[in-house]
Each structure stands twice: as structure tokens, then as C-alpha cells.
Amino acid sequence: MTWTHRERIMAALNHEEPDRVPIDFGGAEFTTITLAGYEKLKKYMGVDTPTDVMSIIHTCAHPAEEILNRFDVDTRNVQPGPYEGGVDHWIDDNTYVDIFNVLWKRTEKAVDQHFLHQDGPFHGGKLTIDQVEEYDWPDGKNPGLVKGVRERVEQIKANGDHAVCLYLPGGVIHRGYAMRGFESYLKDLYKQPEALQRLMDKLCDFWCDTAESMIEAAGPENVDIIYFGEDLGTQDSCMFDPDTIYKEYLKPRHRRMVELVKGLTNNEAKVCYHCCGSAYQFIPHLLDIGVDALNPVQVTAKQMEPERLKEAFGDRLTFWGGINTQQTLPFGTPEEVVAETKRIINILGKGGGYILNSVHNIQAEVPPENIVAMFETGVAHRYH
């Protein structure tokens, strides 16, 4: 049997073993490569296709089709286009205001630095329900978001049967941090829970509206994976209590989002949730709301050892990522990368349920030899 890319991905997501481990590269903003890393990779591979920027804020690239084909990548990305008529604008090369009126900055000193939010419409003072209600919210059904989506999906279908990965940015936590400020948002869980929940609902509405128009534009039958998420973990712990704060305030909104996209795709599409850091204690909640896969599987974070994850959740959850970007990829030799990639495939890929990718975006200092070693190990892999 010859497997198509799509079949390979869907088999893994259905906990079956395809011919080889499926590979993702560039399916979403957090499974790709930073711009400086990408330039080095292009040079190493002799690719001179102009760089297609996936996100300026996250400073990452859409890998060129030529590179995706070289690594036999099974996914293809679809994501919203630029918002039309929003308040977003550039102040200078390193300062940007987005459609939520959040000010983003980066430092000029570092290589490949991404942007961080510095100010937003609800920073400072006490957050009130009126303030949230009266705010001039952007429209999740803005026509710019869906522009070119149908053409992109048709192009993917025409070029080979790849799995369509629909990346839907945002959610109710990170955009909330950006608009309200990280510390204020977390303190408002105690101080202004009503107003904060109103903010979460407004953000959830925007996400759901975007999801609806994107799925409609792509054609529900063409969407294989819905990718979204926001971090719940830190390197060594949880960002907040999984069984109180997450369960009470955030999980109901995440459930609404997952149930919406599953319903719109007739329960055919799989949902991949992105959560950096120690996600372990949140996994039962994510499974409960219908999440099928977890990315990026930060194996160096607490309780995130691949053996532990596979043992506890391997029959229900697909792991997407897992190749160590904090140690092996940047600092190892190609031989060490090959060994680590094989180790992860053997543990997380047993019985399917694993999609090969780095933990988060490949960073600027990762030697191109190591990137090639990781993907070629995946391409050469055989289940039987």
C-alpha cells in the first residue's frame, strides 16, 4: 500500500501505525522555523526561493515548498490573512500595534528576536465590565482574514494529498495578557473575576467567529487539523492551578472553541492544542474537551518525559513535536540529533499517535545539519 501524506497523518492521529512516522514542518506558527534559522537552512540546502514570512511578531517563515518536499513533509499550513481596515500599524521597524491595539516591541540587539507585548488597551487601573463592553472590538468575520483561503486549500489539494492544517491564532489567555498585562490578568483571576471573564468571552467570540469563517472558506470537508492553543505550563510547573483556575475559568471557553470547530467539520477534523512547558497536569482536561493532539511536547519541562506521557495518555492523545530544542537541536551533533529523533519516535510513535516536529520553532542557532538530520531520520523511518 502506498500512503498519501494525508493518510499518514490521519492514521497517526487515529492511533494507528502508518508506513513511517508522519512529519510536520510549518503547519502552524509554532511548528516552523525562525527567520534567521531559515536563511541558514536555505543557504545550506542551496534553496534561493524568496522567504515567505509566516509571522513577523513570532519572526518565523513558511518553509518553501521545495524544502517541504525534500523532507517529505505531510502537512500544509492554512491560516487567516491580514485583517482589513484595523487599527494595526507600524511605529518603526521594531514597534508594532496590532488589531487589538496592543503595542509589540523587539530589541534590535539580538539575532532573530521575536516581538513581545509591552502595552495594551486595558493596562493599568482596575478592569471593569463596562470598559470591556465599551471597547471597540475587532470583527472575527473581517473579510481580510479569509481572503485567499479557498485558493490556498485548492492549491494544496492540487499539489498532492497533504493534510490541511488550519492554524487559528489567539484564544482567551495570551491575547488577554497582551491587552490587560500579564500580571494584571493573573491577579484579576482573584481581584476582578467577573470583568476578566467578560474579557475572555469577547476574545472567545472573536476566535469562534474567525474559526467559523475560516472553516467555511476552506470548505469543512477539506480541513484535516485545527491547530490552536495557548500556554498553560512553565518550565517547572503549571502557570495556574489546573483543577481550580483552569477548570473554572478557562476550560469552559476552550471547550466552546473545540466543540465549535468539531461541529463545523462534522467531527472529521482533529484538534491539536499547543501548550508550551509542563502540560502534563492539564492533559486530562484537554482530553475531556475533545483535544486529539498535543504540541509541542516540551520534553525538557517537568513531568514531560516522553515515557511518562505515552504511558499515561498514549492511547488517547497524539503527541506532535518532542525533538528537543533546548538542548539537542541547538547544541548536539547531527549524530546526537539522529539518536534523539529515533529515541522519541520509538517511545512516542509506538502504535501511532506521534507526528515528528521540533519542540516549538527551530531557533536561529540550530545548525542546518541538525535540522536535516532530524527530518531525514523521520523520512527514513519505517514502522514495519
Partner 1 sequence: MSVQKIFQAVLDYEEEDVAELVQAEVDAGTDIETILNEGLISALDVVGEKFSKGTLFVPEMLMAAEAVQAGLEIVRPLLVEKGTKAVGTAVLGTVKGDLHDIGKNLVGMMFEGAGFKLIDLGTDVDPEEFITAAQENDADLILLSGLLTTSMPEMEKAIAAINEANDTRNLNVKTMVGGPPVNAEFAERIGADAYSVDAPTAVEDARAFIAAGI
Q: Which residues, including other chains, have CB under 8 Å from residue 54's CB and lie 6 or more apart?
A: 26, 29, 32, 60, 61, 62, 77, 79
| Shorter beta-carbon distance to partner 1: residue 103 or 156 | 103
| Shorter beta-carbon distance to partner 1: residue 226 or 304 | 304
Burial degree of 272 (CB within 10 A; 0-12, 13-18, 19+): buried
Length of the chain: 384
Smallest gap, in angstroms, from Cβ of residue 106 to partner 1? 7
| Shorter beta-carbon distance to partner 1: residue 18 or 277 | 277
Smallest gap, in angstroms, from Cβ of residue 302 to partner 1? 8
Q: Distance (Å, rounded) from C-alpha 149 to C-alpha 306?
A: 36
Smallest gap, in angstroms, from Cβ of residue 242 to partner 1? 9
Q: Distance (Å, rounded) from C-alpha 201 to C-alpha 173?
A: 11
| Shorter beta-carbon distance to partner 1: residue 106 or 254 | 106
| Shorter beta-carbon distance to partner 1: residue 70 or 114 | 114
| Shorter beta-carbon distance to partner 1: residue 75 or 278 | 278
Smallest gap, in angstroms, from Cβ of residue 248 to partner 1? 12
| Shorter beta-carbon distance to partner 1: residue 252 or 330 | 330
From the list 69, 64, 61, the residue with the least C-alpha distance to 36 is: 61
**260 in Cβ contact with 211 (< 8 Å):** yes
Give the other-Cβ count within 10 Å of 360's Cβ.
22
Smallest gap, in angstroms, from Cβ of residue 338 to partner 1? 20
The one-letter amino acid at 214: M
DSSP letter at 85? S
**351 in Cβ contact with 15 (< 8 Å):** yes
Smallest gap, in angstroms, from Cβ of residue 186 to partner 1? 4
Q: Are strands 75-78 and 293-295 parallel, antiparallel or unpaired?
A: unpaired
Helix pair 149-159, 193-218: axis angle to 10 deg: 50
Cell of 68: 517541504
Smallest gap, in angstroms, from Cβ of residue 293 to partner 1? 23
Binding site for partner 1 (CB under 8 A): 105-107, 109-113, 116, 182-183, 186-187, 189-191, 234-241, 245, 277, 302, 325-326, 330, 363-365
Q: Are strands 52-55 and 60-62 parallel, antiparallel or unpaired?
A: antiparallel
| Shorter beta-carbon distance to partner 1: residue 106 or 274 | 106
Smallest gap, in angstroms, from Cβ of residue 95 to partner 1? 12
- Kindly report each contact of residues 52-56 with a partner whose C-beta sits within 8 Å and lies 24 or more positions away, as own/partner: 54/26, 54/29, 54/79, 55/29, 56/96, 56/115
